[in-house]
Amino acid sequence: MVTVNNRFNGIGMTSQRTRGRMVARLRRQGILDETVLAAMGEVPRHIFVDEALASRAYEDLSLPLGFGQTISSPYVVARMAELARAGSRLGRVLEIGTGCGYQAAVLSRIAREVYTLERIASLVAKARRNLRELRVGNVKLKHADGRNGLLEVAPFDAIILAAATLQVPETLLSQLAVGGRMVLPRGAEEQVLCVIDRTPQGYSEMVLDEVKFVPLIPGVG
């Protein structure tokens, strides 16, 4: 779980009041899951971005992290979390693409265990510092190629991809529990947010919003 002390409450455009306005905006945008909204309000997004961008942390924007990566907008993070949760508390969740660790911190509020994979070593170090500072105890971070998933702790109740792919890796589909759900962006230039449910009969896919993510890249760096 996340413990937020006074150092992370922020002032001005990074204050708790600003987070409250972000949550109100998310509610107007259609995020209805109060557990997700509470998590979004409790995790201080401004500490996950560069200090020069902290005043914009609660705007509905994706922001650069360096290395060609971005932190998704608050709406997209909340939307993916709400879809993954589907109204129920999650047990074990796998996130592909840790980035700065923000989405993992949000997921830590709505799931018992979060496993998150990041291919870029510098971002692994950054995310680890952020999560350690917030005392997030139920997130396990690994430097790895996300396309391979994490077979040793599968199956997962939910798998969230924070990078877009044309074809869903079979390795990830196989690590989704029966009754579990994968939330991911699909496409290249034009992308859509998709939900894949695994049932006893197989897999079903639902196409939702238009989105824009960095691509899912193989290997580690």
Kindly state the DSSP code that residue 200 receives in the 8-state scheme.
T
Kindly state the DSSP code that residue 43 receives in the 8-state scheme.
S
Marked catalytic residue, from 72, 88, 122, 174: 72
In the sheet with 202-211, reading across from the earlier edge strand, the strands are 139-143, 111-118, 90-96, 156-161, 176-187, 191-199, 202-211
Active-site residue 15, yes or no?
no
Instruction: Kindly give, in sequence order, each residue whose CB lies less than 8 Å from that of residue 3, ignoring residues fewer than 6 positions away.
Output: 134, 135
Active-site amino acid positions: 72
